[in-house]
Amino acid sequence: MPLGDSEKVESIDRECEMLELSRQANAESLLVFADTAVEGDKPSWRSFASEQELEAFRQTRETFSIANAATIDGHIASVTLTMFSSSGDWVKFVSHCYRKDGSLALATKEFRTFYGHFALVEKAYFDPSGNTIDLTKEYRDLKTAEPIEVEKEWINETKHLAEGGVYTKVSDLPFADLLRKQ
């Protein structure tokens, strides 16, 4: 009997929580990537041996998109992307939880900005074909994390920054070619 959407969501939550616990337990073995292009240039993703190597690189040149990927049993299980502006006015975190077949099960996105002083928190669940089966979206106060109403002006002003960053297949990741070389 096929699962209903609420059962699918619960199943995805359980699976992704287990993957997250495994990722945290093996944090030292995360794969580390960064877009090393100068801001405004065409993306140029590079792999780093460790967080320390990336931090050493960032002492000489900033990176505005960073990814950490965790593997389980030889497949990419989770990827966290961090993207931010050179001015520090906004940051976006996108956590991906992938199935063994490389399809996205869950994406959690948090966009924080000083434009309007809010955070947009989105949680999207996907079926193996990449279709959204559930989506929640909430605006929160930057300081208190309490739910708030955000003026439409600020939503429209930052919409282009908040959108994107979700990859429904491992093969769609901007550094997917580097994964094949791992």
In degrees and rounded to multiples of 5, residue 38 shows phi and psi of -65, 140
Residues 6+ apart with CB under 8 A from 60: none
Q: What pLDDT does 1 receive? A: 38
Residue 64 pLDDT more than 90? yes
Distance CA 13, CA 2 (A): 17
Residue 182 pLDDT more than 90? no
Q: What pLDDT does 3 receive? A: 58
Whole-number mean pLDDT of the chain?
92
Which one is predicted more confidently, 23 or 128? 128
| Token pair recorded at residue 169 | 């297949």
Among candidate residues 94, 84, 138, 148, the one with its CA nearest the CA of residue 116: 148
Distance CA 129, CA 135 (A): 16
Q: What pLDDT does 29 receive? A: 82
Rounded percentage of the chain residues whose pLDDT exceeds 90: 73
Q: Where are the domains of the chain?
A: 5-180
Residue 137 pLDDT more than 70? yes
Residues 6+ apart with CB under 8 A from 5: 133, 134
Angle, CA of 50, 55 and 78, to the nearest 5°: 50
Q: What is the mean pLDDT of residues 124-148?
A: 95
Q: Are 121 and 138 in contact (CB under 8 A)?
A: yes
